[in-house]
Structure formats: C-alpha cells, structure tokens
Amino acid sequence: MFDFLKRVLTNDSASSRRRANERLRLVLTHDRIGASSQLMETLKEEIIQVIARHFEIDGTPEVTLIREGRRSALDINIPLKGR
Amino acid sequence: MEKKTAESQVIVVTSGKGGVGKTTTVANVSASLSKMGYKTVVIDLDIGLKKLDLILGLENRVIYDIVQVIEGECTLRQALVKDKRFPGLYLLPAAQTRNKDEITPEQVKKICEHLKSDFDFILIDCPAGIEQGFRNAVGAADKAIVVTNPEISAVRDADRIIGLLESAQFKEIKLIINRYQTNMVKKGDMLSIDDLLEHLCIDLLGVVPEDSNVIISTNKGEPIVLNGHSKAAISFNNIALRLTGKEVEFPSFEEESLWNKLKSLGRNIFPGK
C-alpha cells in the first residue's frame, strides 16, 4: 500500500515540471504573436475556407503555430485532391 | 579610485514580474564588481517604490535622489551615495514620494552619459512592469540582464520583456535564473535550467540557488558577497566575473553526495594526489 502510494505520488510530481513546460510552450507561442487559441481556431477555419474555394481538399487539413527559437511560424498543411 | 576600463558598460537589470530578485541581484553583482576593483554605480529607477538603498544598507545615508538631480536641485555628484564597505561602489537613489512618469528616458540617458566618464559599470535597477518606468530604464542601457525564477508566471513575463528588448534593438540580452532548487528539479517539480533556456532562447549569465542566507544578509543590510561564501554569494561573484569578460564555468548544480564532498575535502587536504 505504501509503495503504491509512493509510486502514485512520485508519478504525479514528475509531471508537474512537464505540465509547466507544456503550458509555457503554448502560452508563449500565443503571447509572442498576440493571438489567443480562439483566434487560431478562427484563422484555421478561414484559411481552409479560402483553399476549399479553389481546390478540393483531400484528408485532414492542419494549421498550427510552430516555434523556431524566439520566432513563430504558421505551419499550414492542406492535402489537395489530384485530378 | 580610478576607472579601470576605457569603455563603460551600461546594463539594465529587468524582469517584468516583481519579486524575482532584481534588486538583490543588482546590489550583489555591483558590490562584487567593486570588490574586483571596478568603479561601479547603481541607479535605482523604481521611483515611488525604492528598495535598492535598503538592500545595500545605505538607507540612512541618502540625501538627494535622481529626480532632484534631473530637476536641478542638486548636482549629480551630491546625489551619489558612496558605499564605505566597497571602494568604488556608489548609489544614485530613487525618489520615494514621486512618480515614474516625472522623468523621461532622455533624462536618464543624459545622467548615464555623465557617469560614463567616472565609472566602469553603470547598473540600472529597473522597476517591475512594462510601463514608463521600464522605458526610462532601458533607454539608457546598451546591455540587458533579465532575471527570472524557475516558475511559469515569471518565465512568461521574462519572455514578454525579452520581446520588448529585442524590438528596442538590444543586441546583448542575458538571463539570470534566481532561486533555483536543484533538489526540486530532480524530483520533477521545478523547471530546469535547460527548460528555461529552451523557452526563452537567450544566453545564460548565471544561476543563483535558493539560499536562506540572502534573507539574513538583507535583514542586516549587507550584500551577501561582502563576506559570504554561501552558494548565492559564489553565484553572484561568478556573474560579476562573467560581466568583466572572464569565462567562468557553470557548476553542475547537482546536489553533492557525501562521497563527493569527502573526495573534494581529501583533495583540499592532500593537494596533488
């Protein structure tokens, strides 16, 4: 019982640093470009709409923010259907 | 005491978030620099919320302040408080009953230009926040030190400050991680040095471990580097050395095991073995 508790507790604490890193990664990416996750969702929808007007989309489109050092970039990956 | 270097360094110490140890860092690094023989002046720009005089233990010797210098009520030389314990260390105090928007970046810059002819190092203690006080502090500096704690809200604010410093064309922005606890990092309960460097992407200037001696020395009004060999004192001395251009290796920040302590003790007693 004691061992089990200890394991649970250490596992939990091992994740507090990891959780901090995950939360920071997300919040800093958004802070740097001044965009909320809500805005990112809207942006994603609009980008996909524009592409869909001209091409047929094949598969799952992805629009994500990525970090390269202190710079941020919009990573847009939209698979298109061939003719 | 004479100035030692031809080119003076004007360094702003900033953090965004309050309470991370900016003023303690400024007090100790500048005291350490003056101990090494560099003529050093610290400028407290936290107008309305001054602390540096207290941390340095000079609160009873303050007569004039920076706002009075700017308004021409006294000369710059009259306002400088000499620290008797450290040859070559001077404080330009902040005003306590005035506001940060009563001075401008240009006025601070002019004061720094005057100080350059007398001092090797000019360290500016920047107030918390990103408003007028921050603009006053960064306008005159050509190098910046960002102090943070291994704690998410401090890191977020540090990141914002770094962004602002980069837009202000700062070429040299360096990081000090204060209140670091190796044992907590090992347990997975604190952000590590590498985590912080990964998030903030700037060069590391120093890591100061959590050390209760800092509170004790602050109570007494004595910078910890005055006579301390505590962990924090060693870190502040290393930071000062790095500012003078010396390469100082970063210690591993691993908690020393009893065996390693015995080994290093043995090396000290029987050198050359």
Closest approach of B202 to chain A, Cα-based (Å) = 9
Q: Kindly provide the ipTM of the predicted complex, given to two decimals.
A: 0.83
In order of their start, the domains of chain B are 9-269 (3.40.50.300)
| Parent domain of A45 | 2-77
CB < 8 Å to A16, chain B: 188-189
Q: Do A28 and B199 touch (CB under 8 A)?
A: yes
CB < 8 Å to A17, chain B: 185, 188-192, 195
Does the reported pTM lie above 0.90?
no
Half-sphere exposure of B237 (CA within 13 A, CB side): 15
Note whether B189 contacts A: Cβ–Cβ < 8 A.
yes
Alpha-carbon torsion (B47, B53, B54, B60), positive or negative: negative
CB < 8 Å to A69, chain B: 201
Residue A26 domain-assigned (yes or no): yes
Note whether A34 contacts B: Cβ–Cβ < 8 A.
no
CB < 8 Å to B152, chain A: 20, 23-24, 27
Encode pLDDT of A6-56 as tens digits.
Answer: 555 555 555 799 999 999 998 998 899 888 888 888 999 999 999 999 999
Closest residue, chain A, to B197 (C-alpha):
A69
Residue A38 domain-assigned (yes or no): yes
Residue A70 domain-assigned (yes or no): yes
Token readout for B121 is: 């190092």
Note whether A28 contacts B: Cβ–Cβ < 8 A.
yes
Encode pLDDT of B242-251 as tens digits.
Answer: 999 999 999 8
pLDDT band at B260 (very low <50, low <70, confident <90, very high): low
Q: Mean per-residue pLDDT for B198-220?
A: 96
pLDDT band at B273 (very low <50, low <70, confident <90, very high): very low
Q: Tell me how many residue pairs between chain A and chain B have CB atoms under 8 A apart.
A: 48
Give yes or no for a contact between B12 and B92, defined as CB atoms under 8 angstroms apart: no
DSSP of B109-150:
HHHHHHHHTT-SEEEEEPPSSSSHHHHHHHHT-SEEEEEE-S
pLDDT band at B254 (very low <50, low <70, confident <90, very high): low
Token readout for B202 is: 């700037």
Tokens 């007007």 sit at which residue? A53
Encode pLDDT of B54-65 as tens digits.
Answer: 999 999 999 999
Closest residue, chain A, to B195 (C-alpha):
A21
Q: Mean per-residue pLDDT for B156-181?
A: 97
Residue A31 domain-assigned (yes or no): yes
Burial class of A75 by CB neighbour count within 10 A (0 to 12, 13 to 18, 19+)? exposed
Number of domains in chain A: 1
Average pLDDT score over chain B: 93
Q: How far apart are CA A66 and CA B193, in angstroms?
A: 22
pLDDT confidence of residue B258: 62
pLDDT confidence of residue B229: 87
